[in-house]
A = this chain, B = another copy of it.
Amino acid sequence: MNIHEYQAKELFSSFGIPIPEGRVATTPAAAEKIATELASPVVIKAQIHAGGRGKAGGVKRAASPEAARAAAAELLGRTLVTHQTGPAGKIVHKVLVERVAAVKTEIYLGITIDRTQRVPVIMASPAGGMEIEQIADESPDKIFKEWIHPEIGLRPFQAYRLALKLGLDAAETRAVAQVITALHRVFVDKDCLLVETNPLIIDNNGAALALDAKINFDDNGLFRHPDIVALRDPAEEDPLESAARKSNLNYVKLHGNVGCLVNGAGLAMATMDLIKLAGAEPANFLDVGGGANEDMIEQGFSLLLSDPDVNAVFINIFGGILRCDILARGIVAAVSRRSVDVPVIVRLEGTNVEQGREILDRSGLHFQRANDLAEAAALIARAVQEVAQ
């Protein structure tokens, strides 16, 4: 789960990380008021769940309250397209109005899980303000890392050792070491997958200040953090994806026209690969997961049918935890509520497969049965051709 920059900054601040003075506004008038109160040049930052806002024109400076109002007016309601939003972009509903800081030095700090070492890793770079991937490409020798020993956690000597590599003076090094320690507490205490501040700056007074803040939470850990769940912004989510999430389905909207319902993320990805190899494009990724019940299957199938782009559906199930009879009942329930006017190809195998097939056979649903993936690929290719004609 992602949150907005302003929310991440508030969280940072509650862990003792210094952030610029500022507030969020949803109207140009509110932005002007904040700028007046700050009595300083301000920066106006579009609040959407995507990086790359600066390059896309989502960050503006304003020297006066009037200019702040104008900048906010320009951003609010506008659709911002960055390299992370996809071509549809995202609508700006909120802007963050902040006091402009006097930047002396820009630093990158980030914490994530290193899957190879199986522990958290803290990354720091004096090349702040750039994307970490870009730093890694262009100057990998400027990325410094500390791995956490889970049995003792981050230790002060590590925070200091890492900060020391950034080439700062003694007081600045101590300030950055403190920010590193606090960032790590955010990372651990809030079950994060990523915590990042880029740039963390040293200002003209030698103080550290997080000019940006990005947090990605582990969805699996959210049950421990009702305070974080409360920060969710439904406006940032695709409506179909939100509906899917409410049903505990893992759904990602894509740009093709063959809807697919699969159990297991690996098989779901392989199914997308198969659809492509058959000359078609998947309309979505939908993993109903291992623990799916009838309701979830029904929801998932209805979701596919409600996507106007879908003109063929491929159900590909290899029953394990998810039993084929449950799958079949869910499909039947969905079909009983709405008409199905696109071809449906079904490939069913695994636990309780006989019952599942029997239930589908008796359901009155018109579908094409594939006995294996090769057959399924052929049926998909044919269905797509027929639709195209």
Size class of A's contact patch? under 10
In the complex, A152→B150 CA distance in Å?
A: 9
Q: Is A151 an interface residue (CB 8 A)?
A: yes
In the complex, A152→B151 CA distance in Å?
A: 7
Report how many copies the assembly holds.
2
Encoded as 1 (CB less than 8 Å from any B CB) or 0, chain A from 142 to 157 comes to: 0000000011100000
Question: How distant is A247 from chain B, measured CB to nearest CB, in Å?
Answer: 30
Q: Is the interface of A mostly helix, strand, loop or mixed?
A: loop
Question: How distant is A301 from chain B, measured CB to nearest CB, in Å?
Answer: 38
Question: How distant is A15 from chain B, measured CB to nearest CB, in Å?
Answer: 18
A152 neighbours in B (Cβ, 8 Å) = 151
In the complex, A111→B151 CA distance in Å?
A: 21
In the complex, A150→B150 CA distance in Å?
A: 11
Question: How distant is A43 from chain B, measured CB to nearest CB, in Å?
Answer: 39
Encoded as 1 (CB less than 8 Å from any B CB) or 0, chain A from 36 to 54 comes to: 0000000000000000000
**In A341-371, which residues have CB < 8 Å from any B CB?**
none
A151 neighbours in B (Cβ, 8 Å) = 150-152
**In A133-165, which residues have CB < 8 Å from any B CB?**
150-152
Question: How distant is A289 from chain B, measured CB to nearest CB, in Å?
Answer: 26
Task: Give me the interface of A with B, judged by CB distance under 8 Å.
Answer: 150-152
Q: What are 3 A-B pairs with beta-carbon distances under 8 A? A: A150-B151, A151-B151, A151-B152
